[in-house]
Amino acid sequence: MLARLAGDEFAVLLANPIENEDALCLVHDLQEVIAEAGKDAALNDPLTTSAGIVTHTGACADPCEESELMLRNAIAAVDDARRAGHHRVAIHTEESAARRLARQTQERALRKAIESNALALHFQPKVDLRTGAVIGAEALVRWHLEGTGDIPPAQFIPLAEECGLIQRIGEITLEKAFAALTAWMATGRPPVPVSINVSAVQLDGRLLAAKLRDLLRSNMVPPELIEIEVTETAFAHDMEGAIAELQAVRAMGVRIALDDFGTGYATLSLLQRLPVDTLKIDRSFVSEMIDTRSSEEIVRMVIALARALGKDLVAEGVETVEQSRRLVELGCEAGQGWLYARAMPFDVLMAFIEKSHSTEPGRVQSNMPLALRRVAP
């Protein structure tokens, strides 16, 4: 039986029990037929289908309850397929149901954390690799869930993007970063530039420039103290729109950094068009540059490219003195990583900066791990 549920949602009911492999073959056949229909209709975009498969288990004694349960599970499986990408198939299992429940529970907790202002901002220093002096800091959002512990950003940021919370998290990060800079300037100490990560979803919303304009005006923070970090994936969906939004940001005097450079989609021709001031060498290349010649050559080429285009450079993931020294030899003089400091609360950052500027030049790198144990959490 083939039925239309609503809109572009359909259900196929197979009366005879079959194995999941046979169901997959049937779904793939249906996907091909639909895709061909899209081609015949000369559609501008390919016609793709997300599908979910669920098997009758007899979990409910009441047939009506069983049919409702199967339909709910099928729709949930379709959602799983959609999250996996275009033209995918997902099979409902007890394990997938458990994962879905855990995701829903975490989404509710994240919404509550946002509403209760429970998200915190930590700062990882960027340093002059030659002296260890702090020349900036990257603002990183942190989430501590009571009873669970710290939730890694790599886990909750994708969740926030999926469930529509990333825009608000981005606003919170910007607001807290500006508040920290305002508090820093109120002490009379020389402020340091702060970089803030922005997701592709935030650029798609076309609200970033307006939000920055309001924060610059209300906090009286000099725009040159703010740097926005974007990854190459930010340009994958709507390249022209993302470039236009970043150009509006840069026109205010705010700097732009291209994060994780070398791991995404940026071509040399695109790089010439991007309103970018800084290239950040991805940590994967830095971590392997001492032991792997190809990684060192990539780092060398990125440094040469940045110099040719007049871009600043920051190396991510610097964890050893040898990496730091080699980066300086290759021409990269700024970096961040655990060799110098992990991300830390704002008050700890201020103490760390004071200590880094008071350290005797030339002895910073050998003394840094001991200094970190005294200053960093």
pLDDT at 334 over 80: yes
Is 315 a domain residue? yes
Domain total for the chain? 2
Q: Answer yes or no: do 247 and 366 share one domain.
A: yes
Q: Answer yes or no: do 86 and 115 share one domain.
A: no
Strand-pairing partners, residue 196, are 139, 228
What is the three-class DSSP state of 319? coil
pLDDT at 160 over 60: yes
Q: Answer yes or no: do 79 and 141 share one domain.
A: no
Last residue of a domain, one of 62, 92, 122: 92
**CA 370 from centroid of its chain's CA atoms:** 31
The first and second tokens of residue 112, run together, are: 């509550």
Q: What is the pLDDT of residue 113?
A: 95
Q: What is the pLDDT of residue 377?
A: 31
332: domain CATH number is 3.20.20.450
User: Span 321-346, mean pLDDT?
Assistant: 95
Is 98 a domain residue? no
Residue 246, C-beta contacts closer than 8 angstroms, at least 6 positions apart: 203, 228, 230, 256, 274, 275, 276
Which residues constitute the domain of residue 70?
2-92
Q: Answer yes or no: do 169 and 34 share one domain.
A: no
At residue 200 the predicted structure's pLDDT band, cuts being 50, 70 and 90, is confident
User: Span 276-296, mean pLDDT?
Assistant: 93
pLDDT at 367 over 80: no
User: Span 325-351, mean pLDDT?
Assistant: 94
| pLDDT tens column, 270-281 | 788 889 999 999
Q: Answer yes or no: do 249 and 168 share one domain.
A: yes
Provide the sign of the torsion angle of the four alpha carbons 270, 210, 336, 189, taken in this order: positive
Q: Answer yes or no: do 285 and 164 share one domain.
A: yes
Q: What is the pLDDT of residue 15?
A: 76
Q: What is the pLDDT of residue 358?
A: 64
Q: What is the reported pTM? A: 0.78
| pLDDT tens column, 53-71 | 988 777 677 777 888 888 8
Give me the helices (H) in the chain, please: 20-40, 63-84, 94-115, 153-162, 166-186, 200-204, 208-219, 239-251, 268-273, 283-288, 293-309, 321-330, 346-358, 364-375
Q: What is the pLDDT of residue 69?
A: 85
Q: What is the pLDDT of residue 239?
A: 84
Rounded CA-CA distance 237/201 in Å is 10
Last residue of a domain, one of 30, 60, 92: 92
Q: Which residue has the tokens 């990496």?
A: 323
Q: Answer yes or no: do 187 and 79 share one domain.
A: no
Q: Answer yes or no: do 299 and 161 share one domain.
A: yes
Question: What amino acid is encoded at 4 in this protein?
Answer: R
Q: Answer yes or no: do 112 and 79 share one domain.
A: no
Q: Checking phi first, is residue 236 left (phi over 0); if not, alpha (psi -120 to 50) or beta?
A: alpha
Q: Answer yes or no: do 119 and 247 share one domain.
A: yes
Q: Quick check: 223 and 213 in contact, CB under 8 A?
A: no
